[in-house]
């Protein structure tokens, strides 16, 4: 179910600022050997990982693995390879959905688990294509939940399972064989694994991939509010019995929440009939 992904990307190279010489000059032939025949463009190749979520050929990977790629090649465990097309991608969550045509090849899809049930200390396994070594399995534990690493929708699972370049887009499995995350990033000053890796939760990846499959893009609603936790001091100043709920610190003028009458200083106790607990 885990696949290796190789991409070919064209990048613009620097122009050769060589002097011009009159036709027939001996220097003309000399400098020709340094010219780029593609007019300043160069092809670069990169490696990544992914996993099959549907036997029809749908594959989840990271957006940064296939972003700006001219060609995307997907290889199975038996080295069977297919050219893939991009169904959709979402840079904000770094999730992309690919599609291959398996023809007569029978594909095996993974089972997506409920990442909300993960606990710190649970054992997990990462499978991917680090440095081109396909089918590499590493094990570790969930080190932390809800990590913020500077993205738009930060809710990363931190793990100490070894994750390196080429692991991006590969699955993070729980001990029941369910995918609970998509290996996405590492924290490292050396460029190699130091035991701090991050994975997008499977619940978020499923939500995004379902929308990419249906619409080719993600659709997001917005409330137009900034909220903050209610501290004991804030609760006392507002005569609240406890610190449950969310305090509206500001409401965007003209936004949906503003139009519905929500103002700065309001406390939201329930959302869609669910109590907001600290």
Q: 228 CB contacts (<8 Å, ≥6 apart)? A: 246, 247, 249
pLDDT of residue 123: 98
Report the C-alpha gap between 246 and 265 in whole angstroms: 10
Residue with tokens 């993205």: 151
pLDDT for residue 119? 96
Contacts of residue 237, defined as CB under 8 A and 6 or more positions apart, other chains included, come to: none
pLDDT tops 60 at residue 90: yes
- With contact defined as beta carbons under 8 Å apart, do 182 and 69 qualify? no
Give the closest residue to 140 by CA, choosing from 116, 117, 157, 165: 157
Q: Return the percentage of the chain with pLDDT > 90, whole number.
A: 55
- Has residue 138 got a pLDDT over 90? yes
The 10s digit of each residue's pLDDT in 150-169 is: 766 778 999 999 999 999 99
- β-bridge partners, 124: 140, 174
Token pair in block for residue 146? 């809800």
Q: What is the DSSP letter of 131?
A: G
* Residue 272's pLDDT band (cuts 50, 70, 90): confident
Query: 120 burial class (0-12, 13-18, 19+ CB within 10 angstroms)?
Result: exposed
pLDDT of 24: 59
When pLDDT is averaged across residues 106-129 and rounded to a whole number, the result is: 95
> 11-69: per-residue pLDDT in tens?
766 555 556 556 655 655 655 665 555 555 667 788 999 999 999 999 999 999 999 89
Cβ–Cβ < 8 Å for 55, 109? yes
Question: Could you read off the pLDDT of 171-189 as tens digits, one per residue?
Answer: 999 999 999 999 998 888 7
> Would you name the residues annotated as active-site residues?
64, 94, 168
Angle at the Cα of 155 (from 149 to 161), degrees rounded to 5? 75
Q: What is the pLDDT of residue 157?
A: 95
Are the CB atoms for 193 and 131 separated by under 8 Å?
no
More confident residue, 81 or 42: 81
Buried b (16+ CB within 10 A) or exposed e, 150-182: ebeeeebbbbbbbbbbbbbbbbbbbeeebbbbb
Output the pLDDT for position 275: 87
DSSP 8-state class, residue 44: E
pLDDT for the residue 160 = 95
Q: Taking residues 250-263, report their average pLDDT.
A: 90
- The residue among 15 and 224 whose pLDDT is bigger is 224
Question: Is the pLDDT at 113 greater than 90, yes or no?
Answer: yes
SS3 call for 8: strand
The pLDDT of 228-232, averaged and rounded, is 88
> Is the separation of the CB atoms in 76 and 106 below 8 Å?
no
In sign, the C-alpha dihedral spanning 45, 49, 53, 54 is positive
Look over the chain and give the mean of its residue pLDDT values, rounded to a whole number: 87
* Residue 117: strand, helix, or coil: helix
Judged against a pLDDT cut of 90, whether residue 6 lies above it is answered with yes
Would you report the helix, strand and coil content of the chain in percent, each value rounded to 5? Answer: 15, 40, 45
Residue 230 has pLDDT above 60, yes or no: yes
Neighbour tally for 29: CB within 10 Å: 10
Mean pLDDT confidence for 197-201? 94
């Amino acid at each position: 179910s885990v696949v290796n992904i190789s991409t070919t990307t064209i990048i613009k190279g620097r122009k050769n600022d060589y002097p011009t010489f009159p036709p027939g000059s001996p220097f003309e032939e000399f400098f020709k050997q340094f010219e780029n025949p593609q007019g300043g463009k160069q092809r670069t190749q990169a490696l990544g990982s992914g996993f099959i979520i549907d036997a029809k050929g749908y594959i989840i990977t990271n957006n940064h693995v296939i972003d700006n790629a001219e060609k995307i090649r997907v290889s199975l465990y038996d080295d069977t390879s297919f050219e893939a097309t991009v169904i959709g991608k979402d840079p904000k969550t770094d999730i992309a959905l690919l599609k291959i045509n398996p023809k007569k090849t029978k594909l095996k899809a993974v089972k997506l688990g409920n990442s909300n049930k993960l606990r710190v200390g649970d054992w997990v396994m990462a499978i991917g294509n680090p440095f081109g070594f396909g089918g590499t399995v590493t094990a570790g534990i969930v080190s932390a939940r809800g990590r913020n690493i500077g993205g738009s929708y930060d809710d990363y699972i931190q793990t100490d399972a070894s994750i390196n370049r080429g692991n991006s887009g590969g699955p993070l499995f729980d001990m029941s064989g369910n995918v609970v995350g998509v290996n996405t990033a590492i924290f490292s000053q050396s460029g190699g694994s130091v035991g701090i890796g991050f994975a997008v939760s499977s619940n978020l990846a499923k939500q995004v991939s379902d929308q990419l499959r249906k619409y080719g893009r993600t659709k997001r609603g917005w409330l137009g509010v900034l909220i903050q936790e209610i501290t004991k001091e804030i609760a006392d100043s507002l005569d609240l019995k406890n610190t449950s709920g969310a305090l509206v610190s500001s409401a965007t003028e003209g936004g949906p929440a503003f139009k519905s009458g929500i103002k700065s200083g309001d406390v939201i106790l329930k959302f869609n009939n669910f109590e907001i607990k600290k």
